[in-house]
Chains A and B, each alone.
Chain A
Amino acid sequence: MAIDSMQKTNKIRWGEIDEEEDDFDFLLPPKQMIGPDQNGVKKVIVYKFNDEGKKVKITTTTRVQKRALTKQAVERRSWNKFGDAANEEAGSYLTMRSTEDIILERIRAPGSNVEQSTVSGDSMSQLGKPGAVLMVCRLCHKKGDHWTSRCPQKDLLSLMDEPLTAETSTSTIAGTGTGKAAYVPPSMREGADRKAAGSDMRSRNDENAVRVTNLSEDTRGPDLMELFRPFGSVTRCHVAIDQKTSMSRGFGFVNFVSREDAQRAINTLNGYGYDNLILRVEWATPKPN
């Protein structure tokens, strides 16, 4: 940024001003030239008096671009207009610069650039941000990043997509999800961005979800956590609670990080006596291969 001109602010004695003179330029702030920035944009700010004697600030923004043109290209610049363009005046509105700045919107911020960037790249660590857990996108299932309506993959993961097998899918889940077998969550549907959802899915562990039924009334999340922890790392454990009575509805879900851990938990705890009820522990959906 270079302020081009310098003017000493001299105190003008009004008595010395010649009344006929129109040129009051000394009253104006100096001309400013903000030199070319990284995109080559140059700004020139000039102050003038307009016809009504009002002070006017004129900002001219120009982009200075150096282009190497071939000789023929240079010659083409001086061609005459033809066809429908022949009768055009210089100020025709066919061509205009967009008023909006359009950027190449990245699909998901690359690992190193995310504001909530984490060393492990695990989206679960976004929980560090207050309130982040509550902000879950229904489409790509990223927690703490954006709401559904702001999902960068809106058209890719439309909520109305039909579930279909995908050729590019690397995982072999066919329609697994938490809960009903027929429901296919958006990240698993055909057309979903699996690469984005891939690591997120693992952290959500839809395929490593275990359903526990026949729980006693006062069983809560932490109890399940304690019960399943010995088998491996649990990312999430949830017990369905009846809001009215605040009692457990008798079932819950535990999400493991690894499939093997989940399998071992199922094998060991199915039929286990817990708080005087026999637990039933199984895969959360029809057993996926």
Chain B
Amino acid sequence: MRPILMKGHERPLTFLRYNKDGDLLFSCAKDHTPTLWFADNGERLGTYRGHNGAVWCCDVSRDSSRLITGSADQTAKLWDVKSGKELFTFKFGSPTRSVDFAVGDHLAVITTDYFVDRMAAIHVKRIAEDPEDQVSDSVLVLQCPDGKKRINRAVWGPLNQTIVSAGEDTVIRIWDTETGKLLNETNEEVGHKKAITSLCKAADDSHFLTGSHDKTAKAFFQLWDMRTLTLIKTYTTGVPVNAVAMSPLLNHVVLGGGQDASAVTTTDHRAGKFEAKFYDKILQEEIGGVKGHFGPINALAFNPDGKSFSSGGEDGYVRLHHFDSDYFNIKI
């Protein structure tokens, strides 16, 4: 396949998200400006100007009308997707790290980092239909035991009944949305050994995938069963994992990562060798890799139709890949 290279960001990419119809791609980077692209040809449609810090995460509503972004400038902003207009700003006392719309788009979960004397927390905000009515109060605020550890991702569980959070303290926690109680968390033997960097939900919300750095210089991540938090599969790579994605069409899992520190000087200097690794979801075996990035891969996203995927790297490039027909015939 011939990937489409999109160099709209001057700084490393942090997050990529497709809309539900699969025709729009949102990219977030450390350069303060989330960008909107067409997902078929990579043509840039627009940028959302307003943030003053690195944008860590974004989510788009189901009808692709609203975009929410979380940034290091201690705000999360609501935007009108079509015009690029800023609709509302949620102000926090610390940088926001992760945002996620609930099913139905009437709620959003936003995580904030530890900063000065504010502990890291998970906030739930109500999203009003009419931006004029939007208020900034939190419906619910959750805190992890170690408030100094970043919560890298927090997403809604099936039917918004739970919130799943994962972060630097290596523990995945499931919270009850109604009561705010901690329902479940991973224990040491089963959980990750290092900070969890990324989380991806399955299309039907039945399982999710987490990627993590690991002290043993071997990154593996596990696929968890959301309702009961059971480890189902583990995928091993040789590099710390920065981003994970699941194909909605085939049983494939993609991991994007960096390069292990010990390998930096010993591997050859061919450029474009950072790859997104494909694994068979059920067999846990590596299928292959798609090379091309000049820096570690920080973001991965699959198009909801499963026929293309995009990766964003430390090099500031977004690479959009449309699969060839042989991808769909891969046999292990």
Q: Which positions in A face B, CB cutoff 8 Å? A: 38-39, 65, 67, 69-70, 72-73, 76-77, 79, 81-86, 88, 92-98, 100-107, 110, 112, 149, 154-162, 164, 166-168, 190-191, 193, 195
CB-defined contacts of B138 to chain A, threshold 8 Å:
none
* Cα distance A106–B332 in the bound complex, in angstroms: 10
CB distance from A155 to the nearest CB of B (A): 5
Q: Is B167 an interface residue (CB 8 A)?
A: no
Interface of B is mostly: loop
* Cα distance A279–B290 in the bound complex, in angstroms: 53
CB distance from A213 to the nearest CB of B (A): 35
Cβ-defined partner of A162 (8 Å) among B23, B40, B217, B267 = B217
Are A76 and B24 touching (Cβ within 8 A)?
Answer: yes
Subset of 30 A-B contacts with CB under 8 Å = A65-B40, A82-B83, A83-B33, A83-B46, A83-B49, A83-B84, A85-B45, A88-B44, A94-B6, A95-B4, A95-B41, A95-B42, A98-B2, A100-B292, A102-B292, A103-B1, A103-B324, A104-B287, A104-B327, A105-B288, A106-B287, A107-B286, A107-B289, A155-B239, A155-B260, A158-B266, A160-B262, A162-B262, A191-B238, A195-B285
Are A84 and B47 touching (Cβ within 8 A)?
Answer: yes
* Cα distance A247–B230 in the bound complex, in angstroms: 61
Are B285 and A159 touching (Cβ within 8 A)?
Answer: no
* Cα distance A106–B37 in the bound complex, in angstroms: 30
CB distance from A69 to the nearest CB of B (A): 6
Cβ-defined partner of A72 (8 Å) among B64, B259, B324 = B64
* Cα distance A107–B275 in the bound complex, in angstroms: 12
Q: Given the interface contacts A76-B23, A76-B64, does A102 sit within 8 Å of B286 by beta carbon?
A: no
CB-defined contacts of A191 to chain B, threshold 8 Å:
217-218, 236, 238
Are B45 and A81 touching (Cβ within 8 A)?
Answer: yes
Smallest Cβ-Cβ distance to A86: which chain B residue = B46
Are B3 and A102 touching (Cβ within 8 A)?
Answer: yes
Count of A-B residue pairs with CB < 8 Å? 154
Cβ-defined partner of B8 (8 Å) among A69, A94, A156, A195 = A94
CB-defined contacts of A158 to chain B, threshold 8 Å:
238, 260, 262-263, 266-267
* Cα distance A47–B238 in the bound complex, in angstroms: 52
CB distance from A169 to the nearest CB of B (A): 10
CB-defined contacts of B330 to chain A, threshold 8 Å:
104
Are B216 and A190 touching (Cβ within 8 A)?
Answer: yes
* Cα distance A97–B290 in the bound complex, in angstroms: 16
Q: Is B278 an interface residue (CB 8 A)?
A: yes
CB distance from B20 to the nearest CB of A (A): 9
CB-defined contacts of A72 to chain B, threshold 8 Å:
21, 63-64
Smallest Cβ-Cβ distance to B239: which chain A residue = A155
Smallest Cβ-Cβ distance to A106: which chain B residue = B288
Are B4 and A96 touching (Cβ within 8 A)?
Answer: yes
- Beyond contacts A69-B21, A168-B234: 20 other A-B pairs, Cβ-Cβ < 8 A, are A73-B22, A76-B24, A76-B64, A82-B82, A83-B48, A84-B33, A85-B47, A96-B4, A96-B5, A98-B5, A102-B3, A105-B290, A107-B288, A110-B331, A110-B332, A149-B268, A155-B238, A155-B259, A190-B216, A193-B286
The 8 A CB mask of B290-306 against A (1 = contact, 0 = none) is 11100000000000000
Are A97 and B325 touching (Cβ within 8 A)?
Answer: no
Cβ-defined partner of A95 (8 Å) among B5, B46, B64 = B5
* Cα distance A190–B215 in the bound complex, in angstroms: 12
Query: Which of B48, B49, B216, B290 has the largest count of A CB atoms less than 10 A from its CB?
Result: B216
* Cα distance A107–B330 in the bound complex, in angstroms: 12
CB-defined contacts of A94 to chain B, threshold 8 Å:
6-8, 44
Are B45 and A73 touching (Cβ within 8 A)?
Answer: no
